[in-house]
Amino acid sequence: MLAVVLGPDREPSLADIVAPQPPGDLVRVLACGLCGSDVEKIGLAAPGTVLGHEVVASTADGHRVALIHHAGCGTCSRCVSGHESTCERFAEPTIVPGGFAEQVRAHGWVELPTEVGDALGTYVEPLACVLRGAERVPRGRVLVVGNGFIGRLFGAVLERRGDTVFAIDRLPQRAGVPPDGPVDAAVLCAPGGGEVALSAVEPGGTVLLFADASTLPADGMYRRELTVIGSRSASPAHMKEAVALLPTLALPEPTVLPLERFGEALELHRSGAALKVVLVP
Ligand SMILES: [Zn+2]
Ligand SMILES: [Zn+2]
């Protein structure tokens, strides 16, 4: 089957590889979204890696589904306390070899309604991650730092629940409404904006780290009594919630390209020319 595979130089290219074999649930990939976390692995992940985890597929019995990407065991103390993404089982591969391929072995899915098309269905996984993170953001005036695709998902989810949302971005054409004063909470959606997020919130405010903030100055957190929270990835319950919510949100349209044009997709992502690129085998 065709797949985008990292070569010996850890750079992606289209290759003919062996399709996953039984046993297991083999599904045919219909679409797979390109995520910033995929792009970060290029040049680093092992040769032979197939990236892609925002997958819409068709099951052997003809159902259109969004695949679950990682899941906790559901019973350990971390899972029970709501930190499923830190469960020891969470790192186990669940979409094999990876979504940028014609076929994968899946370990769970949620069914898609007909009104959600294949390309839009790839938003279920990132939306589920955002829904899980948004649960930990206090309501009120919220600043989104980094208004790319994930920032837009946060904006849509927070506005829908009644928050006043502001958004800034290092690319001026992506910025939303800038904050008109201190905010109750900030959500960091892009690496590198940590200090901006910290200084935007009121004393006693909250900063949700949804991207690697590297090092942050802790004296301000102490003196201003800030709450800094991390959230990463989704849970199967949030995938279900995302399917239900997706048709009700106004979200940016994806740029859809065939798998053969992965290099172009990467360029559109890296330059910021496209908010979201979806690849179709
Ligand atoms: Zn992702
Ligand atoms: Zn667990």
pLDDT tens digits along 120-166: 999 999 999 999 999 999 999 999 999 999 999 999 999 999 999 99
- Answering whether pTM is above 0.75, one says yes
Question: What's the CA gap between 73 and 65, in Å, rounded?
Answer: 22
pLDDT of residue 239: 97
Residues 25-50: tens digit of each pLDDT: 999 999 999 999 999 999 999 999 99
Q: Ion ligand 1 — residues with CB under 5 Å? A: 35, 37
How many angstroms separate the alpha carbon of residue 38 from the centre of ligand 1?
7
Residues 236-265: tens digit of each pLDDT: 999 999 999 999 999 999 999 999 999 999
Residues 173-222: tens digit of each pLDDT: 999 999 999 999 999 999 889 999 999 999 999 999 999 988 999 999 99
- The gap from C-alpha 92 to its chain's centroid, in whole angstroms, comes to 18
How many angstroms separate the alpha carbon of residue 54 from the centre of ligand 1?
6
How many angstroms separate the alpha carbon of residue 92 from the centre of ligand 2?
12
233 closest CA partner among 51, 83, 102, 106:
83
For residues 263-277, average pLDDT: 96
Residue 163 neighbours by CB under 8 Å, 6+ apart: 137, 139, 140, 141, 142
In sequence order, what DSSP letters do the residues of 148-186 get, joined into one string?
SHHHHHHHHHHHHTT-EEEEE-SSGGG--SPPSS-EEEE
pLDDT of residue 214: 87
pLDDT of residue 228: 97
How many angstroms separate the alpha carbon of residue 36 from the centre of ligand 1?
7
Question: What's the CA gap between 98 and 54, in Å, rounded?
Answer: 10
How many angstroms separate the alpha carbon of residue 184 from the centre of ligand 2?
32
pLDDT of residue 192: 87
For residues 85-90, average pLDDT: 95
- Tell me the two tokens of residue 183: 């905010």
Q: Is the peptide bond before 23 cis (omega within 30 degrees of 0)?
A: yes
How many angstroms separate the alpha carbon of residue 82 from the centre of ligand 2?
9
DSSP 196: H
How many angstroms separate the alpha carbon of residue 157 from the centre of ligand 2?
27
How many angstroms separate the alpha carbon of residue 231 from the centre of ligand 2?
16
| Closest ligand (CA of 84) | 2
| Closest ligand (CA of 92) | 2
